Structure 1
Amino acid sequence: MRWIAPRRIVRIDPDRSHSYGETSRVAAGEPECPYALHLTDADHRFQFVVFDLDTSRHEDGAAAVWRDADTVIGLLDEAGLGHMVVRSGPAGGIHVWVPVSAEEGMDPVEVARLGRAAARRLVTLDVGPLSERGTGAVRPPGAPHRAGGRAELLHPADPSDALTICDTATNTAARFEALATAFGAEEMDAEEEAEAVEREGRIDTAAMRLRGRRRPMPAKVRERLDTDPGTDPSAHLARILPSLALARWSLEDVRALVAAEPGAPGLEHLRSRRFGTGRVPRREDDRRARLVRKWGHALDFAAQLAPVAARVESVEDDMVGLRETGAAVLEAVADPGRWTEEAGPADQLTLLAVLYVALKACAPDGEVDVDVRRLALASGFGKSTVARALHRLRRDGRLIQAGDAEGTRAARWRLVHPAQWVDVLPDETGGTQVDHAPATGTPQQTPPPTRAELLERLQARLDLSAHEVWTGHSPTHAPGLGHHLEQTYAALVEHGTHLYTVDPTTVSALTGYSTARTARHLRILAHHGLIDPHSGMPTDTAALDAAAVRLGTVGVRAARERRYEAERAAHAAWHEEMARLRAPVALRPRTRPADRYARQDGRPAHGAQIARHLATAA
């Protein structure tokens, strides 16, 4: 530690709370508790650039860390920058230490620029240690971890070789600039410059306010002004000022507020500063200067946030194609002539579930990554039923598979406008279509529904389909009424107010079922109290819940969620193990935690973790 520490002190975490609020002198020797080295010297110039890759920042965990580590190491090698690779602790995080050769260190502004560019490519990167403030600290090799174990040097494995890298003269500013360029810093600079120009255009620099109509003080600001800021008045004030800026207040408005309420608890940071264990009043000139500086920061931050109305309008404009497709899909799903009698419900609801995911993801091209388990939970069918429905929808041109499943990433599906759907032969079995009127492809004359309207309609339809009363089959619960009855019930819910009478002939025209089958559906629905036996109208949602209790289907969804989550965990664990085995030798863990990889007959049982997940699923 003492050979590479940029300062005479290190930050320690004696209570293992991950706060590192105390310090210890380097001369006192290696601390027994977790400790972190400052990355900058006393002048806040960086002596080390550290890429902190954290498993908690991505759902793929260690697998994502390995991918990012490969990217970083590859770019460092291309730039000719010497580096050390350290496993941070038992969770599987990686620290890549890159020493700075220049005696004066590296400018924090340049390091922050490199960190922002790297974060655009590295999903697991924590940019905190690369902050422009130059206050970052990272645990070095050998430092204890609060959860047990120590930071382990992986590359180079010999500590003396690592010290040689720390003393290298080749990690020059030019090579760090080459690394930033490889991460895309020049493209990022252009984008940030354009954003800055747009942001400055939203600020009235003379009045120090955002352009637009001034609004009264938000109720949340009033509440925060009257609230004790606790131990961090600065952070409390940082929540108040941006809200006033978004309300189009000016600097003079804020000055008037401070003058009118000199004792407001929320403004404590303007009145006093920390001194020892307490606070002392600020001088008047310090108060005025601090208010101007803090207001400038708040205004700049608020200017980055586009007005809510503009954001909504932009999203609606960008998604006009998907909105038109969504409206057409809803109309096509309601046309019973487009669907077969047996497979139709699964195909219809699976297609609506894909449309719902695309709208939630704001995918303008209607293309999303989605797995069968998510679609199954959304629609109320089992995952096997949904998988078969996706196959039929793809075969019949309702959906296009734009990408195969890869690793833990689901397959990619693209919606097709019903005007482009192709027909299948009437004698084909199991397909989504039967004979129906050909699509005209006539452009929609009226504006398409908004995204919110489409989501509301889809949510209502999927919630009804996913109700446990309709469960057709479950390995853990009794069967419910089935989704064919749900189709009939849904038709009554949607069209009931427009029907003069509810009879098998009228309802069968809405669902595509035969008259005899529709009559049977109506009798069963009436028997379970889901429709009124006289009028044929649906009763209420409480009747659905009561019927599910009587049938014994309550808990089916929760059981499926647990089973699917366990299956995902087992799948992810398998890919994580494969990624570990394929990782560069320098990055492979030298030991395996005993609680994660059991050993049998002296050999590692790599499938132990996967087996545990599958046991949970069973």
Structure 2
Amino acid sequence: MPTTAPKVPWAIHLTAADHRFRLLAFDFDSGPHGADVAAGDAHRLCTVLDELGVAHLHTASGPAGGQHVWIRLADPGASADNVRTLAHALRQHYPSLDTSPLTNPATGAVRPPGAPHRNGGYSLPHLLGTALSNTLKRMSSGAPNDVVEWLLARHPHAELSKHHDHPRTVRIIEDQAGPHLDRPRRPLSNRTQALLGTTPTPGTDRSALAHSILLGMAKAGHSLLDVETAVASAPGLVRLRDDHDRGRDDTTRQWQRALDVAARFAPASADERAPVDDELDHVETAVMADPTRWARPGGASDERILHALIVLARTARTRTLDVDVRRLAEAAAVAASTVSRRLRVLMGEGWVTRVNEGSGTRASTWELNLASIAATQGEPAPGSGTGISRPLLAHHTHDVWASRTGLGSAAARIHWEALKFGKSKFSARRGKNMISVVSEATGYATATVARTLDKFRDLHLLPVSSAITSIEPMDRIALSLGVAGTAAARASRHLIDRELHRWWTEELEWRSRRGKKRGVRATPPGALALPITAPARARYGRFPTGDDGRADYRTARDVVGTSLGNVPSLNSAAA
């Protein structure tokens, strides 16, 4: 670091020379999804960190609404592989998260607090005065490296597909035109051509735009010479052109980066899709073909569970998933017992098949069935539901829709359709009565819809008139209703339940061994010397028993909660 900070935008690396992460910087980008989504994602992650007792700093990255959340790690830091796994897991929960700084240990960097933004303004903490000083003081010692494991445990996720672990057979070759993939050169896709002609608006992540373009060119078999020609004039590559004009030409390095990604696991574009993409589109379209079917008792949970499975399947690139009911419950924001019951209903209707029963600590294997299209009423229009699962699930799983103390799952479905109605200014819906349209779309009685819409207006969850269009943020409504943190509490309960089950399973295995047995000494509570993936008996010792020799689950639950370093919130959530 220089003695005086630069007056131009600057960034710091997250790793040391050994490529182990000493800093975690979660960068929530406002470009793709908007400032509200970025702020909401950052707030949700900060809530989880607060519940875990992890010191962190939340900053506004600049004028466009992007957010940064910083964690300092104690020595020796976290490994690049573990942080990469965490980044991909969190991306499934926070759509605005930019994973690139956390997946590139060699060059990953983020602008720190105080650094200027290229469009004006600075990266500034949300805290001020004493609160800021206290937070920085807490961060000075560094959080345990186990925080990576804690965050993984609190965020159910689909594992990366196996093909992500090994390079594909596509080679990178070099000739007179420069490096390119060993494949025939073909015209650029419509999407890549559109991005090339896109002039970035203020607040757009120009680096991400350039990378998307280079990735599309790489997959089309284009060469470095093609890229250099495009950089000279293409509006979408203005970032690389500006770098060149400043004497810091980064085109070759960025092209090599795009080639590496394309050769291994570049995501399929709209005109280069894997069969699983079409299959999941087929299933999603079937789910959305007749939304009124989900107005039945338990139907709202069925709908959420199916959308959660679709989102996980799209991330894992497969229709077959290993997922236990608790992780699926967290993804769908319903109770684990409800997931268990409703999966049996969905099996009976042909939506899913249980390929393998769960055993011990291993989750059951579930498959989304293509035959589910037969369960819909009529043949839907092609692609009518494509791509809706992720935004719909993000809406339906908000704490404000908590089943018992919140507004409820039926209200979530009504609110979703009411928002669609409000946005359809030029559609055939306009001019119709909102109550009748929402009732028709959801399957609920008009009286139910009318009462629910009135409640929304009282809470400012819907505009009360065309002149008053502001909507109260759902986070604030959840706080006023006393349901903020419901999802986090559910995750805390499930985390302890999984640990208890794992601990008891290992205890039974230990007791069944032949020969002389040696016990283990438990890790002192709060020391956290072992990661959460370590053997449970090594973390907690021997499973506690009562005077009658039976398992003492109450004591065991307290031991697990204390060892995880989250006594207040975990114990209250488990109560």
Greater Cα radius of gyration, structure 1 or 2:
1
> TM-score, normalized by length of structure 1?
0.44
> TM-score, normalized by length of structure 2?
0.47
